[in-house]
Amino acid sequence: MTTPTLPIYLDYAATAPADARVVEVMQRYLTVDQLFANPASRSHMLGWQAEQVIEQARRQVADAIGADPREIVWTSGATEADNLALIGFMRANRERGLHLVTSTIEHKAIVDTAHALEKEGFEVTWLTPGHDGRIEPEQLRAAMRDDTALVSLMAVNNELGTINDIAALAAVAHEFGAAFHTDAAQAVGRIPLDVVAQQIDLMSLSGHKTYGPKGVGALYVKRHPDIRVEALIHGGGHERGMRSGTLPTHQIAGMGEAFALMQQQYDEDNAHITDLQQRFLRGLEGLDGVISNTPLSDTEKRAVPNILNLAFEGVDGESLLMALRDVAVSTGSACNSASVDPSYVLLGIGTPRSLALSSLRFSFGRFTTEADIDHALALIRHAVSGLRRTPHGNTQYYPGCRTTDSSRARRARPRPRLARFGQAKRLFWL
């Protein structure tokens, strides 16, 4: 087997490398002998040609989610799309109500935006997910009010990989006359998306999570009189008045190509990544104290296969991250000399503080190889075993940070039950 290139990249949920086919498309729209013109320039052919490129990409993105191309609004990324969806919609629809419903474990682009809306006088209901990271329809129904204008719940959680039933959640929102928004940055190419069948009114999309370029994203805005969005960026009235600014033709063309490829390779990509996930889980068999924060089930698909959030008992996640210098992974914890801040997502699903501080997120992608997985596993097993033999590898104490286990959090957690870990049964918190 080929020796992998170091460091091994297992952080695809943070960003994915651009596919070479995407880069090839992007390079056509940059230099003087190519289609570099401003797509808003209507007075010459070069501008018209650039506009055609934009519209082709708009159709490619629309096709991936079952939308009309006219419903795609270009943004600088999913973060801007989330801001436009929440702030833009709530401001434009004050007469419908001032109430927004979301969850405590949404991406920070939603959480921080919702907090900003609270400062403007809007009311926000924060739903607490179950231990599997999902929001259930009946839970949402109980939070709905006559003045609820918008519900925003993500399709796939970026830290856990948990899948929400967005069709069922959207149906509840519509029962009460509210619009439904979902952040689908982690969902494209991972789960089926159809904005018509799933009754989605607003959907945030990212370019760089789908092997496309950074710096570009989109917001799907349903063409309906009741779905109005107020612009946050002004200056020229681009994108039907919802988002002004000169469009980056090369980035948009890249995102369009990336979305088209995700469609074409949907089955191939998911089969490959599922095989990698199972190989990874099997490789951890026999390593004690590995606890899955990601819901794993043999009977129900509750999470996408490309994201695995695992806790390693008795090991501080930051220390493990440092020990794995040849493996690029991520942790939701942040440490400085004064405090320890575990992942708010893990705490939000009831994970004890000590386990949250012991957790890392591993995420796989199109270009991850079996050799990558096997080499990473060897490094992980070595690092975990080594840290457990040292006092500073313990989650109770490490340089610059102190934490104690929360007995209250442990009591709040359900009893552990048996779930499959690869082919062997092992104890997990589910």
Q: Region 254-281: what's the mean pLDDT?
A: 98
Integer CA distances (angstroms), 330 to 72, 156, 383, in order: 31, 17, 15
Coil, strand, or helix at residue 77?
Answer: coil
The catalytic residue among 335, 356, 360, 379 is 335
**CATH code linked to domain 35-263:** 3.40.640.10
How far apart are the C-alpha atoms of 198 and 169, rounded to whole Å? 9
pLDDT tens column, 127-140:
999 999 999 999 99
Would you kindly state where each structural domain of the chain is located, as residue ranges?
A: 35-263, 267-428
CATH T-level assignment (fold) for domain 267-428: Aspartate Aminotransferase, domain 1 (3.90.1150)
Whether 5 has a pLDDT exceeding 50, the answer reads yes
Per-residue confidence at 396, pLDDT binned at 50, 70, 90?
very low
Least confident segment among 139-148, 196-205, 390-399: 390-399
Per-residue confidence at 413, pLDDT binned at 50, 70, 90?
very low
Q: For residue 322, what are its two tokens? A: 């440092």
pLDDT tens column, 137-179:
999 999 999 999 999 999 999 999 999 999 999 999 999 999 9
Predicted model pTM: 0.89
Strands (E), 342-413: 359-363, 397-398, 401-402
pLDDT tens column, 11-23:
999 999 999 999 9
Q: Region 304-314: what's the mean pLDDT?
A: 97
Whether 406 has a pLDDT exceeding 60, the answer reads no
How far apart are the C-alpha atoms of 100 and 235, rounded to whole Å? 28
Per-residue confidence at 337, pLDDT binned at 50, 70, 90?
very low
Whether 9 has a pLDDT exceeding 60, the answer reads yes
Tell me if the bond preceding 399 is cis, omega within 30° of 0.
no
Tell me the pLDDT of the chain averaged across its residues. 89
Active site residue 401: no
